[in-house]
């Protein structure tokens, strides 16, 4: 049952990654594109991190532990970096949207 949770969470994270990438491609505003890129980076990081945790639970070999650790560390580092970029670009994206709507 725990694997089912991780599979569902992995699929949801990947769907959000695709959603943000589509929005990124469709956006014409430069700061909004950076903001959407940060959001997609967080979603991709979550996807990779959860994939690593799922691999850790499924396979119990030394190689699987090493690969899972790399996936987990890389995924959650990507989430943290994406969150920092998200927080940085959020006010600029909001002001850009306000200026463009006028």
Domains in the chain: boundaries = 2-101
Q: Match 């709507």 to its residue by tokens.
A: 101
Mean per-residue pLDDT pooled into runs of 10, the chain (102 residues): 86 96 93 94 96 90 93 95 95 87 72
Helix axes 30-58, 2-26, angle to 10 degrees: 160
pTM of the model: 0.88
Q: Match 């699929």 to its residue by tokens.
A: 11
What per-residue confidence (pLDDT) applies to 74?
Answer: 96
- Alpha carbon of residue 44 to chain centroid: 3
What per-residue confidence (pLDDT) applies to 100?
Answer: 80
What per-residue confidence (pLDDT) applies to 65?
Answer: 92
Helical spans, DSSP H, in the chain: 2-26, 30-58, 62-101
């Amino acid at each position: 049952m725990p694997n089912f949770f991780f599979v569902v969470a992995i699929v949801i994270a990947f769907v959000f990654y695709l959603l943000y990438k589509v929005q990124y491609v469709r956006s014409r505003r430069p700061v909004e594109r950076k903001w959407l890129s940060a959001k997609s980076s967080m979603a991709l990081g979550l996807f990779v991190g959860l994939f690593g945790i799922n691999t850790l639970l499924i396979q119990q070999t030394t190689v699987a532990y090493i690969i899972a650790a790399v996936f987990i560390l890389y995924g959650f580092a990507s989430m943290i970096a994406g969150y920092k970029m998200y927080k940085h670009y959020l006010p600029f994206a909001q002001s850009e949207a306000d200026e463009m709507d006028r």
